[in-house]
Structure 1
Amino acid sequence: MENKIKTKFSVASEEGIAVLQMLGEKRGQEKYTGLLNTSQLEEYLFEKFNTPTIISNLNTFSNQLIIVYVEDQPAGYAYLSGNGTVPEAFKDKRLIHLEDFEVLDAYKSTGAREILLEKCLNVCKSYEALKIIENAEAGDNIAFYEQYGFQQSGSAVINIAGFNLPSLILIKTNF
């Protein structure tokens, strides 16, 4: 039997906030344990997933949060935003930013990651470009995005709680 996978848009309700906090904290620990020390990780998780920040982000008109569920269990999320740095080559285009795209490790082989990205691409059809910044050393993630038509468009450095993470800018233009 296949896993039952579904996506839902989330809002700044108590339930939506709690689900995002749980997913964000679990995924943050999966992603950054060993890279950040304990205090850096705690600082990052607090700054990114505290209730006022989440409410502010979700109540901004140009932002959207999509949660993916596997067998009714929250498995990951995608956070789209109309705000962010636009590469020079895309200044005259309607561009949206995929600020976060995270699926818990336990659900990576369920199809949840693919369903979530396909939902994002469908949501972004009214835009001319979709941008994501990904850890330069996450070759499997970069290959995943490239199979959906994303192309490398430059490099960036992301600061995670004082740790500079070399990253790549990936952009998809054909929907």
Structure 2
Amino acid sequence: MNSKIITKFTIATQQGMDALLYLTQTIAREIFLPLLPQEQVENYLSGNFNEKALMVEVNSMSNQWLVVYANDKPAGFARITSKGERPKVIAQKRVIRIADFGIIKEYTDPAIRQSLFDKCLSVCKPYEAIWINEYVENPFISLFESEGFTKQDGKSKLDKLPLQSVCLIKFLS
């Protein structure tokens, strides 16, 4: 399937917010409903990805939001942020975090995933390292590792969800 793929920054316009609300809700349900009780997932969504909370996060100077479009339809998103508890190994470095990275399951074209990931890397270039904290079953962990991220020892917990996670770091300089 040949699709037109573009990844771009998203701001707090109606179109940008509509795309992010759709993507965050859809992707979180696809990921977490098989792993957690529905009520817990819905509480997580209503607390973190409602219109008001998302507007605050999109307008935060700590975050940059990216949306990948396939044939002008939102297919996935990423949030790059300076927020979060840094791993000790990079605590004294200039680092950035890919805090969210997701693509709706129906979009299986690897070029979609690669477009979003490449845009993330270009945004992160000025930093010394990038870190990711993701749930252990995340299917994108193999992508991150193939792109030079290494799993860190030790167990972590996901922000706001009771799932075991893994921390991955990529050193840039």
Q: In which range does the TM-score fall when normalised by the shorter chain?
A: over 0.9
SS at match of 1:170: strand
**Following superposition, which runs of at least 4 residues in structure 1 exceed 2 angstroms of deviation?**
none
TM-score normalised per structure 1? 0.92
RMSD: 1.6
**Structure 1 unaligned blocks of 5 or more:** none
Cα shift at 1:37: 1.8
**C-alpha separation in 2, matches of 1:110 and 1:148:** 14
**Structure 2 unaligned blocks of 5 or more:** none
Cα shift at 1:174: 2.5
Aligned length: 172
**C-alpha separation in 1, matches of 2:150 and 2:108:** 22
**C-alpha separation in 1, matches of 2:33 and 2:55:** 26
Please list the CA deviations of residues 126-151 of structure 1 after superposition, one character each: whole Å capped at 9, or x if unmatched. Answer: 0111111122133x422111111001
More strand by share: 1
Mark the CA change 1:7 to 1:168 in structure 2 (over 3 Å): closer, same or farther. same
Q: What fraction of aligned residue pairs are identical, expressed as a percent?
A: 35
Kept after mapping to 1: 8 A contact 2:130/2:172: no
Q: How does 1:89-104 map to 2 (within 5 A)?
A: 89-104=89-104
Kept after mapping to 2: 8 A contact 1:153/1:171: yes
Mark the CA change 1:71 to 1:110 in structure 2 (over 3 Å): closer, same or farther. farther
Kept after mapping to 2: 8 A contact 1:149/1:174: no
Residue 144, structure 1, aligned to residue 122, structure 2: no
TM-score normalised per structure 2? 0.93
